[in-house]
Structure 1
Amino acid sequence: MGAFVDEWGSFVDETPSSGGHPPSPPPQPDTDDEWGTFEHEPGNGPSSSRLSPPGPTSATDADDGWGVFDPPSTEGISSQSPPSAGVPAPSPEVVASLLTAGETLWAQVDGFVAVLGSGCPVTAVYDGEPDGFSGWRPVTVVDPARLTVRPVPLSLAEPPAGAATSVAELYSDTEPRSAAEPRRAARFPVGQGPDLDAVLDRAVAEERDQVRAEAADAAQRAAVQLNAKKRELAERAELAERQARMREEQAQAEERRTRQEAAQQIAAARAESQQQIAEAREKAAQAVQHWQFQAQQAEAERTRLAGDLDRANRAGVQRLTLVGVLAVIAVVLTFVIKGA
């Protein structure tokens, strides 16, 4: 629709995808990054930039305005890991779990010590002695569990002629530059071009169709979300009902167990009370028998004592009778003797 006049654009209002606001500017590079920054330094003039860590530079570097792009130093690789922009280095266990035997990755190598890009140190092994090349180079994982890698051998031989494309041919301009005049926009086409009313009507129709399509899509998405919400609610209701049934069954089982325990306790109490009653009855019977035996013994003792008393009474009577007779005899003898 917007191609009816190439030089003058379209009448359709085109808004940016960000909601009518211009896109936000890209974030500024980190000034503390070890790779430097493209911000201007006030000490080197408006056209200078810092692409290398602070340090002495040559006169050529100070004059070109672009700086020098120096990679980070590889000194001290065996004693410290490369900076990771505030992110702590992962543990050896995590690195070992992520590595795979045979995969190739980059590491900062210095002799038998290598440091991966994450900052985790690993051990470099060679078929013989170290080749003497230090710095970032590809390595092949030998044993992830032991964190051992083998540096990929570096080829120093010149490639044969024709094996690769030359630098001049690789960066040459394949399309010749045109010497024609630059293309300029033509004059405003007075009285030419399509009917603006038709263009506006078509734009309105397209906008209406787009709004209807978006409304239909929104309705479809709402229906899908509603169905998903209904399914979710149904699943939640089913889950709640299942949990309620489980809780009810658990309560019934707990009630049955409580009743069984209560019945067992009642039966045990009844048995214990019956045993105590039987023991009390047995003890009472034994006590009655004991008191009956004692009463019998007392009755026998009373009978014996009554017999003894009766015999004592009879003996007393006899003694009194004998004493009376002897007294009478004595009186008679006294009178006889006196009369004689």
Structure 2
Amino acid sequence: MSYVADSTSDGEFNRDTDYITTRITADGRDGYPLEPGRYRLVVARACPWANRAIIVRRLLGLEDVLSIGFCGPTHDERSWTFDLDPGGRDPVLGIEYLREAYNTRIPEYPKGVTVPAIVDIPSGAVVTNDFAQITLDLSTEWTRYHRDGAPQLYPEPLRDEIDEVAQRIYTEVNNGVYRCGFAGSQRAYERAYDRLFTALDWLSERLAGQRYLVGDTITEADVRLFTTLARFDPVYHGHFKTNRHKLAEMPVLWAYARDLFQTPGFGDTIDFVQIKQHYYIVHSDINPTGVVPKGPDLSGWLTPHGREGLGGRPFGDGTPPGPTREGERVPAGHSADRVD
């Protein structure tokens, strides 16, 4: 997503959470019914919020019914761009800037243009950029199009607990790293830092005796935590000053993150090159030189994690997703060698 945020008078970072909340549903109650091939999911591999949608779409096997468009890792004040595509245009939507789809829905769209966004291909208009609801709807509204063996990422009996854990992850970790990085005063930064590591300590304690956050299978809560952990050492530890410990120095969380990274559908979506390019180039107020770090060493992501000893079944009664589709693979050399 873009950083549609401001700071309070004491320098605390506040994220703008006013999204386009129209939903694509099985009954079409918002005017956008499920139709294979009608919608396009627009993402950027660099963005943790978009990365969630990439993972969930892949785990559920929705590639044939929901196409995907990849923006480049950087953007300007106008919006995300399709500079990875020939001619700098999305081949399906025919646009150069994602803002064009936002303006089609809401003329002169006044807010930050964010990813992920789902675009209605016939009209060229954004349907929704409500990142939290998008992945939940992929799990609950798109069920008729799930692949055989798709996991239950949002099982009904566990939804209350998933929601509770996911909310704390969002406020204290997903958004907590940004609260550190964009703090406008020393006091605001130190408060944000303490909140973040209090939450990470809580997660370490929770995960010390169980393989996954809720129940014995991967759920939406794990997807939401993973995308922040994957960016912790390459970006947040230095760039956002979340430097009490590196992820690799937090034994439980590091093992948990490696476990997920080595699970098909997770690590095969992570592009460390684009992640670093995005944060270190776009955030010119934090990193005015635009120099992108060469490290860290990524080989540790493939080391044994030992989490199998805690039990758990990654996909429950389901199966892993198949190999990543041609055209959707992370470029060679942009990640650790992955298990496809």
TM-score (norm 2): 0.19
Which entry has the higher C-alpha Rg, 1 or 2? 1
Structure with the higher fraction of residues in helix conformation: 1
If asked which structure has higher relative contact order (CA below 8 Å, sep 6+), I would say 2
